[in-house]
A and B are shown apart, each in its own frame.
Chain A
């Protein structure tokens, strides 16, 4: 039995680097590199689950868009492209500030970390503000919220049920996305507090890195939601809107 393993190698150590004796090293890991890689891989695996989670919605959307394109076009034209495009730019900006915040940790600049994390949160909040106070409020006033006050319009003709179906997707998909944004902003507020306390350094910034991955993922979801919801069927006039 004793020949199965060679009891010679003790707990692996890395002297000299910010390795085994860093106060941030969890005891079940051998060194910081292993811990960072584990955290990174863990977040990527989680993001794979998120791809499938949103993916169920995208798959359903694909089915119905293929079946009911005219109704979906009508619905899409009732969305305001300007808000959609502006929100896309806002989120892209927040991804930039998030990436720069991580870079600030990698280069040991604490004030820049805090500033950039706060900026990311502000941009995220701006996205939500535009969505809730402008877009959804307009949709409510225009009776376009299924299950709440959706009204069919005569000019939709036989496509009317499918317009409602489109708006089911619009609200479900953007709500789910918004929930993820809110969770992200919550994460960022914790990170900002940690960054302000000086918790991150070139040797340890794993929470920033993995939260950044999450934030960028939420951005990618919107990168697809924008054309799929707002840009169906082309717009042959200016602005769109109602």
Chain B
């Protein structure tokens, strides 16, 4: 792709990576781009730790009687996997890496509104991660990532307090990041960049930030109350004083359900960018897609009781939550329809980012549809607590969010690093990941439907075939994830130098050199075009 921007050869140009060297220049940076890379390294590390837990679990589950660890250890493995993957990988992943890097660039700003607060967010994340890793090393917790009382508050003999402290602290990292994004998007857009000219990625980051702000504090107070009860042996969830363990679940899921939308909304924003760029076409129904991000953010707060259908919750509350859970599917479906309509008569190319985006659409749709099984009270009674749930959320979190994250990393990698990754290896890895993912998790739908409970270290022998298939898939998936890890690192030294706009895409971030200078823009841009203002495709040249 050629570009009209003339550039100084990269080796002699100063940009945000080479403007200063040394550990201090990184650990004390206030440049949003460097902070994004600090996050990238940290969350990749946590992803690997959480991935190791998953590998151990899948090895263990090859045998019905368990092949690897004691049941108590198995409980700690699935707990560690969930806690690390949810709080330390998925929740920060796209917002803290791609969001931090791109938000100022996409809106024509020099940095976020509060650069020092941004750095503080990262340090808070690191402190929280250290507490959690310490807890894992010192024996871990066996409560599941959901910490249900009274087990977590009274009966568990595991490292609940350190993990609780770690999660509590990390929550503030999310809150400050969300705060930064909201203020930045409101106050620092370039002249001419009206709300409806913003890239859809920005809309999704804004909606995610609203969830950060309104949901995370409730998790914080819930964990705080859990800690108090555990330390003082009396508290507001303790039945001995009239406390209700279900109240913990209400408070916990008030955050944790919107949290799953924190994990998917940024991915949807990435997919909008990828579909537009690799169809060379404006996203169909831009306004509806933008509003749908808000609709998802708002409705996501009204459905949490669907995690509690079988807990003894009032049936009347269950009815309300069930209806609202059906409702929340609608804005997600709107996005899928609009992406598909964008593809129609687009000029499609199949670079690695597009492969991830297309994979996302299919896998997210499957995950979303299986969510409807769970939103219906009657079927949820049968499927709750089984592997059906595990498969459902992995289709969305891994088949959706992680694939979107990978697609985004590939798409913006040239901008971030100034290098291109090896194209063939990237496409191969995308296919391996897709195959491995489906082999891992599709059998789990079958297992759940047939009745295999989740979080069990042993299972009846009739479930072994599907379990072995799932474990085989996990090994393929693991290899698929390692390949980009290798070639991204390789590319930083040996990859071809990337031009400012290797994809010929629209967006302010592609108007600056790759990698960008520290201050992003020499002059504040003035925006006069709509988003994704690709030239119309001449007749006869579609597809």
Q: Is B23 an interface residue (CB 8 A)?
A: no
Q: Which residue of the partner chain B has the closest CB to A67?
A: B242
The proximity string for A residues 106-149 relative to B, scoring 1 for CB distances below 8 Å and 0 otherwise, is: 00000000000000000000000000000000000000001110
- Which of B227-235, B281-289, B332-340, B428-436 participates in binding chain A? B227-235
The answer to whether the Cβ of A53 comes within 8 Å of any Cβ in the partner chain is yes
A96 interface contact, C-beta 8 A:
no
Known A-B contacts A52-B218, A54-B221, A68-B242; A42 and B526 likewise in contact (beta carbons under 8 Å): no
Interface residues in A148-187 by Cβ distance below 8 A to B read 148, 150, 161-162, 164-165, 168-169, 172, 176
Task: For B500, give the chain A residue with the smallest CB separation.
Answer: A1
A7 adjacent to chain B (CB < 8 Å): yes
Contact partner, B187, options A34, A53, A55, A68, Cβ 8 Å: A34
Any chain B CB within 8 A of the CB of A60? yes
Q: Using a CB-CB cutoff of 8 Å, which residues 151-210 of chain B contact chain A? A: 175, 178-180, 182-184, 186-188, 191
Q: Of the 9-residue stretches A9-17, A78-86, A218-226, A232-240, which lies at the interface with chain B?
A: A9-17
- Most A CB atoms within 10 A — which of B5, B179, B184, B504? B179
Q: For residue B527, which residue of chain A has the nearest CB? A: A5
The answer, among B247, B254, B501, for a CB contact under 8 Å with A1, is B501
Residues of A within 8 A of B243 (CB): 64, 165
Contact of A5 among B117, B182, B241, B526 (CB under 8 A): B526
B146 at interface (Cβ–Cβ under 8 A)?
A: no
Please tell me which stretch of A43-51, A87-95, A97-105, A194-202 contacts chain B, meaning at least 4 of its Cβ atoms lie within 8 angstroms of it.
A43-51
Contacts of A63 in B (CB 8 A): 244, 247
Whether B183 contacts A38 by the Cβ 8 Å rule is: yes
B interface footprint on A22-46 (CB within 8 Å = 1, 0 otherwise): 0000011110001001100110011
Q: If A7-B525, A52-B218, A60-B251 touch, does A42 touch B179 (CB 8 Å cutoff)?
A: yes
Among residues 65 to 80 in chain A, which have CB atoms less than 8 Å away from a CB atom of chain B?
Answer: 67-68, 71
Question: In the complex the two chains form, what is the Cα distance from A56 to B178 in whole Å?
Answer: 20
User: B214 within 8 Å of A by Cβ?
Assistant: yes
Q: B255 to chain A: closest CB distance in Å? A: 9
Interface: B474 (CB within 8 A): no
Write the chain A residue with the least CB distance to B501.
A1
Does B5 lie within 8 Å of A161, measured CB to CB?
no
Task: List, in ascending order, chain B residues with CB within 8 A of A34's CB.
Answer: 187-188
Cα distance A1–B234 in the bound complex, in angstroms: 65
Instruction: Kindly state the separation between the CA atoms of A228 and B228 in the bound complex, as whole angstroms.
Output: 21
Measured between beta carbons, the chain A residues less than 8 angstroms from B186 are 41
State the Cβ distance, A21 to closest chain B Cβ, in Å.
Answer: 17
B524 touches A164 (CB 8 A): no
Taking a contact as CB atoms under 8 Å apart, the answer to whether B242 and A168 are in contact is no
Contact A169 B191 (CB under 8 A): no
Number of interface residues of B (CB under 8 A): 64
Chain A contact patch, size range: 35 or more
Contacts of A6 in B (CB 8 A): 525-526, 528
Determine how close the nearest CB of chain A comes to the CB of B29; give it in whole angstroms: 14
| CB pair B235 A1 closer than 8 Å | no
Q: In the complex, what residues of B have CB within 8 A of residue A54's CB? A: 221
Give the residues from 291 to 325 in chain B that come closer than 8 angstroms, CB to CB, to chain A.
none
Contacts of B519 in A (CB 8 A): 27
Asked if residues B110 and A27 are in contact (CB atoms below 8 Å), the reply is yes
Q: Which of A2, A5, A45, A164 contacts B508 (CB 8 A)?
A: A5
| A29 and B508 alpha carbons, distance in the complex (Å) | 18
| Contact A45-B183, Cβ < 8 Å, known A1-B3, A38-B113, A56-B251 | yes
B55 within 8 Å of A by Cβ? no
Contact A50 B187 (CB under 8 A): no
- The residues of A that contact B114 with a CB separation of less than 8 Å are 38, 42
Question: Chain B contacts of A53 at CB under 8 A?
Answer: 217-218, 220-221
B148 vs chain A, min Cβ distance (A): 16
| Pairwise interchain contact B217-A9, C-beta atoms closer than 8 A | no
- Please, how many angstroms separate the alpha-carbon atoms of A101 and B231 in the complex? 41
**Counting chain B CB atoms within 10 Å of each CB, which of A56, A57, A67 scores highest?**
A56
Contact between chains at A168 and B251 (CB < 8 Å): no
Determine the distance from Cα of A209 to Cα of B298 in the docked complex, in whole angstroms.
30
Other-chain contact of B183, A41, A148, A165, A176 (Cβ < 8 Å): A41
Interface centre among A3, A49, A55, A165 (most CB of B within 10 A): A49
A60-B110 in contact (CB<8A): no
**A50 contact set on B, CB distance < 8 A:** 217
- B window 499-526: CB within 8 A of A: 501, 504, 506, 508, 510-511, 519, 523-526
When distances are taken between beta carbons in the complex, the residues of chain A under 8 Å from B218 are 52-53, 55-56
- B133, CB-defined interface residue at 8 Å: no
Contacts of B225 in A (CB 8 A): 56-57, 60, 172
Q: B176 to nearest A CB, angstroms?
A: 8
Contacts of A45 in B (CB 8 A): 178-179, 182-183, 213
Q: Name the one of B111, B178, B529 contacting A28, with C-beta atoms under 8 angstroms.
A: B111
Residues of A within 8 A of B180 (CB): 42
Residues of B within 8 A of A1 (CB): 3-5, 501, 504, 510-511
Contacting residues, chain A, for B506 (C-beta < 8 A)? 4
A59 on interface, CB distance cutoff 8 Å: yes
Tell whether B19 is near chain A: CB-to-CB under 8 Å: no
With both beta carbons as reference points, the residue of chain A lying nearest to B504 in the complex is identified as: A1
Q: How far is the CA of A49 from the CA of B217 in the complex (A)?
A: 6
Chain B residues, CB < 8 A from A67 = 242
A86 to B528, CA, bound (A): 59
- B236 close to chain A: CB less than 8 A: yes
What's the Cα separation between A51 and B221 when bound, in Å? 11
Q: Is the CB of B234 within 8 A of A146?
A: yes
Cβ 8 A contact of B240, one of A4, A59, A60, A161: A161
In the complex formed, the residue of A with least CB distance to B220 is A53
Is A165 within 8 A of B191, CB to CB?
A: no
B216, CB-defined interface residue at 8 Å:
yes
In chain A, what residue has the closest Cβ to B251?
A: A56
11 extra A-B contacts, CB within 8 A, seeds A5-B508, A7-B523, A37-B187: A4-B529, A5-B511, A5-B528, A6-B528, A34-B188, A48-B213, A49-B175, A49-B179, A53-B217, A172-B225, A172-B236
Question: What are the nearest 8 A-B pairs in CB distance?
Answer: A147-B232, A56-B221, A53-B217, A5-B525, A52-B217, A28-B111, A28-B110, A161-B241
Write the residues of chain B forming the contact surface with A, with a CB cutoff of 8 angstroms.
3-5, 108-115, 117, 175, 178-180, 182-184, 186-188, 191, 213-218, 220-222, 224-225, 228, 231-236, 240-244, 247, 251, 254, 501, 504, 506, 508, 510-511, 519, 523-529, 533
A-B contacts, 18 of them at CB < 8 A, read A7-B523, A8-B526, A27-B110, A30-B524, A34-B187, A34-B188, A41-B183, A42-B179, A45-B213, A46-B175, A48-B214, A49-B217, A55-B221, A56-B218, A56-B225, A60-B247, A64-B242, A165-B243
Residue numbers of A with Cβ under 8 A of B are 1-12, 27-30, 34, 37-38, 41-42, 45-46, 48-57, 59-60, 63-64, 67-68, 71, 146-148, 150, 161-162, 164-165, 168-169, 172, 176
